[in-house]
Chains A and B, each alone.
Chain A
Amino acid sequence: MIHQYQNNGFRIVLDVYSGAVHVVDELCYDVIERLNEQNENHTVETLQKPDVMELLIHALGSKYPVEELRDALNDVTELTADGKLFAPDTYEPLIVAVKQRKTVVKALCLHIAHDCNLACRYCFAEEGEYHGRRALMSLEVGKKALDFLIHNSGNRRNLEVDFFGGEPLMNWQVVKDLVAYGREKEKLYDKHFRFTVTTNGVLLNDEIQEFINQEMDNVVLSLDGRKEINDKMRPFRNGKGSYDLIVPKFQRLADSRNQERYYVRGTFTRNNLDFSNDILHFADLGLKQMSIEPVVGEETDPYAIRKEDLPQIMEEYDKLAKIMIEREKRGKGFNFFHFMIDLEGGPCISKRLSGCGSGTEYLSVTPWGDFYPCHQFVGREEFLMGNVDEGITKPEIADEFRGCSVYSKEKCKACFAKFYCSGGCMANAYNFHGTIHDAYDIGCEMQRKRVECAIMMKAALSD
């Protein structure tokens, strides 16, 4: 499968099944387009048949000299012989093994507090309560969760635990005690805990900052961008904006971590479709690691992204990519999470086939110890999988998540981006279509655009 597109003056050809990315000239772009129209499954043998050259001369002979066309066809044939163009799908037969693989639990999202000191208008957790009651996780429940992780992680050494909420700093003593418990246990079982925390920053202070820097592999700092944008969607419960209190703390924390191992993470809605300005605002605040994601909401929510918003969103991604290239070249670069792509050292095909791991390798734990496939399913009783006392009581739920892949989703079959999103967020698919074996269409459009921009940036910065 071949996907070709033009962006920012670059002509790019992505060979989906090999993952090879080619920047080509206009001639070669046209040649590949014609060849792919003729036969999506070309091989070295079929490319050498006389009718191929005849087709190119017929279709492009008035635009290019025959010798040039022959030259381009030779390049295409060479790439095909190297397995970097027209590469066949050799992965579909592996999906049976992926479905049947024995998985271990390697990551937990601990809902340390189902409570929050902000009242963000788009919160999928409903101000921290997740369709349920306010609650704080006890140390006892947290310890049982870490024990469960250790005992269900097989040979996996690195174990990940995210302190999530609601707002986890509202239950900070338990976070500290659980980190201490984890450090004690990891020595006994030859494991290594990678702790992370996701916070809105309201309660962040010097002591907490120091602890985070000492113990947390990553910290996710929630902020939406410009003051007026942030304060509209992220107010306190009394309606007052949170920007002025939080921003100086985030700047200080980012600096204290040498601008590494953190993300300032925002959400954009249809209230700020010009979200590239919010990302640039982060950069202007001196922040270097950032992410801004499209809001997830009901179609009826006034702030939800609609299909008609997509053209403007696409333009924003294009605009952002160009500005990032320009800043990078000036030595003022920054990382945008959704444009990060590693063409050489990215994840292996097994990872790309197995997806995000929710429901199998990754579980969420409520304050009272219930397991759900991920934080976005918490509170949906049909996805309650077990608890810290009994373990997984409904393995059939894990089986369903394990069987979910780009090959179980009809929409993914013809999509060029399938090995970059691995089928997308299962919670989003469920929210919009009632099944995890589907895809959130608007999210897919945005994902494809982000992949195109990310690859284009690699081309631009390779010059």
Chain B
Amino acid sequence: MKHVKTLNTQTLNNTLKKGGCGECQTSCQSACKTSCTVGNQVCEQKK
């Protein structure tokens, strides 16, 4: 593609298929404690 560089190959829709195992860390256990930062948590299945 001449005008576009896409940074990611996965889409959120794809995570519907395998997601939801619930093994990931809760966000406040990492470092926030006063905000909510779900987006930077790591998927346990992709570790």
Contacts and interface: CB of A to CB of B under 8 A. Distances in A.
Interface in B1-35: 1-13, 15-16, 18-20, 22-35
Give the most central of A84, A87, A156: most B CB within 10 Å: A84
A463 B25 CA distance: 31
A343 B7 contact: yes
Interface residues of A, number: 85
Nearest to B16: A349
Interface residues of B, number: 42
Contacts of A71: 2-3
Contact of B7 (A355, A376, A426, A459): A459
B38 A420 contact: yes
A262 to B, nearest CB: 9
A347 B43 CA distance: 5
A267 B22 CA distance: 29
Contacts of B35: 293-294, 338, 421, 424-425, 428, 443, 447
B39 A421 contact: yes
A358 B19 CA distance: 20
Interface of A: 17-25, 27-28, 71-72, 75, 78-79, 83-84, 87, 90, 94, 104, 106-107, 109, 124, 156-158, 160, 162, 194, 196, 198, 218, 220, 263, 265, 267, 291, 293-296, 337-338, 340-352, 355-358, 361-362, 374-376, 419-426, 428, 443, 447, 451, 454-455, 458-459, 462
Interface of B: 1-13, 15-16, 18-20, 22-44, 46
Given A84-B6, A338-B40, A350-B16, 11 more contacts: A21-B6, A22-B5, A75-B2, A340-B40, A346-B40, A362-B28, A374-B28, A422-B36, A424-B36, A425-B34, A454-B40
